[in-house]
Amino acid sequence: MTASYPALRLRRTRTSAWSRALHREIAVSPADLIWPLFVTDGDGSHGGVEEPIGSLPGVSRWCVKGIAQRAREAVALGIPCLALFPNTQPGRRDPLGKEALNPDNLMCRAVRAIRDAVGGEIGVLTDVALDPYTSHGQDGLIDEAGYVLNDATAEVLVGQSLNQAAAGADIIAPSDMMDGRVGLIRAALEAAGHHNLQIMSYAAKYASAFYGPFRDAVGSSGLLKGDKKTYQMDPANAEEALREVALDLAEGADSVMVKPGLPYLDIAIRVKQRFEVPVFAYQVSGEYAMIEAAVAAGAADRDAMVLETLTAFKRAGCSGVLTYHAPLAARLMNG
């Protein structure tokens, strides 16, 4: 028999703070966070070079020295992983994205700087895609009509992955959405002896309107010709996301990502329930900017919104969240 009112009063366990804490179903900690960081050229004294990003208030690009300092900060806060994204200078971009294969590019230098600063105390996730390196802003090689070539791009992504692995990356994260690239990258990593290097696949990455500030941050927004709808997913599709995840897992992904985050929580929970694998969500630049805009307008409390949204990701089954609010969230969680 099921109890009913007044024998059952659900408000009983909500009456006091200690009781709410005791009955709380979801707990979020700094260990659930991945902090995305943008790397830029330059080297200043002491704190290095910092370039604030106008469309991402409170977020900056950092030179390699600054990235090393952020790594020390993350370790102190209990954040277990950093995600790196380079802002490649225009003179180093070309239609083929050759700078992605340079062992001394921004990404590789930043990885080595983190290793020098904190050793193995923190994980380093490196983005695998060509948009930070191409002069046309697309995630891959293009033909004369501007169509992104799948197989030719995947070959370059393999070289990019091996380059980042040699620099000391812990997680390779292909964000390009080319078909078959996870299997090719996994095979190449195995052949090169990188048996324990993880692949976190951007398996369900949507052609979203929420990416604008990120493209400003990596310097591709003014370069992009056309859109990315021929390879990123249609926001209307859910079943297709499950097919993408199934393929990437079969090809050797250790974990998968849903991107963007909050508008696609339904996808995250369906992936978790279907596959029972580690699922991560990326609370993308547009989501971050919306929270900051609400705070600036006096319409919201930043701390409360940040913690509530992160709780939503955990409630949906995510193992962790990539968020630009990671250092703030960690400080709040640490009291």
Clarify whether 65 is annotated catalytic.
Answer: no
Write out the binding residues for Mg(2+). Answer: 244
pLDDT in tens, the chain (335 residues): 589 999 999 999 999 999 999 999 999 999 999 999 999 998 755 556 899 999 999 999 999 999 999 999 999 999 999 999 999 999 999 999 999 999 999 999 999 999 999 999 999 999 999 999 999 999 999 999 999 999 999 999 999 999 999 999 999 999 999 999 999 999 999 999 999 999 999 999 999 999 999 988 988 878 888 899 999 999 999 999 999 999 999 999 999 999 999 999 999 999 999 999 999 999 999 999 999 999 999 999 999 999 999 999 999 999 999 999 999 999 999 98
Clarify whether 205 is annotated catalytic.
Answer: yes
Q: What is the pLDDT of residue 1?
A: 58
How far is C-alpha 321 from the geometric centre of its chain's CA atoms? 8
Q: What is the pLDDT of residue 78?
A: 98
Write out the binding residues. Answer: 244
Secondary structure in 3-state letters for the chain: CCCCCCCCCHHHHHCCHHHHHHCCCCCCCHHHEEEEEEECCCCCCCCCCEEECCCCCCCEEECHHHHHHHHHHHHHHCCCEEEEEECCCHHHCECCCHHHHCCCCHHHHHHHHHHHHHCCCCEEEEEECCCCCECCCCCCCECCCCCECHHHHHHHHHHHHHHHHHHCCCEEEECCCCCCHHHHHHHHHHHCCCCCCEEEEEEEEECCCCCHHHHHHHCCCCCCCCCCCCCCECCCCCHHHHHHHHHHHHHCCCEEEEECCHHHHHHHHHHHHHHCCCEEEEECHHHHHHHHHHHHCCCCCHHHHHHHHHHHHHHCCCCEEEECCHHHHHHHHCC
65, 228, 259, 272: the active-site residue: 259
Backbone dihedral angles phi then psi of residue 91, each to the nearest 5 degrees: -65, -15
205, 228, 272, 314: the active-site residue: 205
Rounded CA-CA distance 311/316 in Å is 9
Q: What is the pLDDT of residue 115?
A: 97
CATH class in words for 28-333: alpha beta
